[in-house]
Amino acid sequence: MNVLVLMSDEHNPKFLGAASHPFIATPNLDKLAARGTRFASAYTTSPMCVPARAAFATGRYVHQIGFWDSADAYEGSVPSWHHVLREAGHEVVSIGKLHFRGRPGDDHGFSDEILPMHIIDGIGDPAGSIRENIPPRKGCGQMARRAGPGESTYTHYDRDITARAQIWLAERAGKPQDKPWVLFVSMVAPHFPLTAPPEWFYRYLAMDLPMPKLYAPECRPHHPFTDEYARVVNYDAHFRSPEDVRRAIAGYCGLVSFMDENIGKVLNELERAGLAEDTLVIYTSDHGDNLGARGLWGKTVLYEESAGVPMIIAGPGIGKGKTVAEPVSHVDCAVTILQATGAVGLPAASGQSLVDLAHGAAPTRPVICEYHAVGSTAGGFMLRHGPWKYCHYVGMRAQLFNLSEDPEELRDLAAEPSQQPILRECEMALRAYLDPEEVDARAKRRQAELLASYGGRDAALARGTLNFTPAPGEQVELS
């Protein structure tokens, strides 16, 4: 069958009507979940755009492919599901954000890239490769300052992406095809800036919006890994009042609903073109967003709000209205796409078919998320182990949560004497798959090489820091 992959950017999996959010409006994604299967415990491979998207493309974990941060983007050197499909004669097209390297001569594997967004100048953000004595990043005040009603270059970009996807599908209506096609539609919302179309922004601002979980300073948990991130990427320092926080939440919720509206337009065109009955639809996001929980904004930590992603599949042979609790990963998507199209799989892919997992197949791979980039002096690794979520930080204390009993991660059990056996069991399970110290050292060696190639630490800092990649055609603003 054909495959339509719909990806948003920075969609916290809790902000979805189908996930029982109390007020978010996502009618189109809810409808997709009702006619398909939703995975309630889905994870990105890394809570940052560039490494997450490289792993999504290749079906392998970040430590296996070595694209670590926002200056180390995918350039086609590792085979992707796009390459496999194109080489087998399938039409495989992207519309929208890719966040690959994008230099002349790079071959990312698509038959065509329409309106692509890649890292700036094929370089990205070298300052994010600095892993020791990290200075605070500049420009973090934009998170609070730009939260409000209106249009941004990102909302304009998403409207263009949606229109081009509608056109692409409309032009396939009724046309014979030798092989199934794959269309990857990748939107930017709800990624900050938190500027949302007025009709959506004011809808949420009029609500009695709750403050984020554990937001009060005296309630925030502390860990060296997250404390360092909060120091370096100090978004919260620029929120001066509860009203500032509520405007940011209204902006984010407005962007979620705006994204859902655009998803609906694409899905309606799929239906109108008579293609829905022969197409597997996959919806996910590259990673989540903390949205103020624990005083953290953006992504790049291993809590569920950041490392978790929405994941929905729908189409022929997919159970309707079903929710699957088994943890799944973005590495599973490549296998799923290739299986659906009948293409020969990626030999080195780490994942399993989401369709098979939805039908009860036993998991044969771990679910891992890792982080080696902005604001971190140590590599961070998350492992799902049954109901347990284990977070390992090189040179720092671990974290342990029982998500069955504590889905909001309010109680870190790592220091409790009664939990030491399961803590050791989780660490052994992680080490059976990777060596955290070796991976951390390898990432830092690569980042040191990149920094040297860009003129060193001082040159990277002098270039400025980048809080979000400009849309195609937008002027670059480095802080």
Report the SS3 class of residue 231.
helix
Count up the domains in the chain and report the number.
1
SS (H, E, C) 328-365: EECHHHHHHHHHHHCCCCCCCCCCCCHHHHHCCCCCCC
Residue 366 lies in a domain: yes
Q: CA-CA distance, 230 to 251, in Å (whole number)?
A: 21
CATH of the domain at 368: 3.40.720.10
State pLDDT tens for residues 239-277. 999 999 999 999 999 999 999 999 999 999 999 999 999
If you average pLDDT over residues 338-347, what whole number do you get? 91
* Domain extent at residue 244: 2-463
- Partners of 370 in beta bridges: 381
Residue 191 is assigned to a structural domain of this protein: yes
pTM over cut 0.95: yes
Structural domain includes residue 469: no
Across the range 126-154, mean pLDDT stands at 95
Task: Collapse the DSSP code of 412 into the 3-class scheme (helix H, G, I; strand E, B; otherwise coil) and give the result.
Answer: coil
For 90-104, how does the pLDDT look when each residue is reduced to its tens digit (9 = 90+)? Answer: 999 999 999 999 999
**Does a structural domain hold residue 284?**
yes
Cβ–Cβ < 8 Å for 314, 38: no
Residue 479 lies in a domain: no
Select from 84, 60, 59, 55 the least CA-distant residue to 72.
55
Q: CA angle 345-349-355, nearest 5°?
A: 65
Report the percent of the chain where pLDDT is more than 70: 99
For residue 142, tell me if it sits in a domain.
yes
Closest of 43, 122, 114, 38 to residue 75, by C-alpha: 122
- Helix, strand, coil share of the chain (percent; to 5): 40, 15, 45
| Structure confidence by residue, pLDDT tens digits, 42-90 | 999 999 999 999 999 999 999 999 999 999 999 999 999 999 999 999 9
Q: How far is CA 460 from CA 50, 65, 443, 453, 479, in A?
A: 18, 24, 18, 10, 12
Q: Which pLDDT does position 477 carry in this prediction?
A: 65
pLDDT (average), residues 390-410: 98
**What is the band of 9 on the pLDDT scale with cuts at 50, 70, 90?**
very high
Listed residue (329, 122, 143) closest to 240, CA to CA? 143
Residue 472 falls inside a structural domain: no
Are the C-beta atoms of residues 244 and 236 closer than 8 Å to each other? no
Residue 249 belongs to some domain of the structure: yes
Interaxial angle between packed helices 153-170 and 242-272, expressed in degrees from 0 to 180 and rounded to the nearest 10: 10
Sign, Cα dihedral of 16, 19, 24, 25: positive
CA 202 to centroid of chain Cα atoms? 26
476 pLDDT more than 80 = no
Q: Which helix (H) or strand (E) holds 175?
A: none
The answer to whether 371 and 379 have CB atoms below 8 angstroms apart is: yes
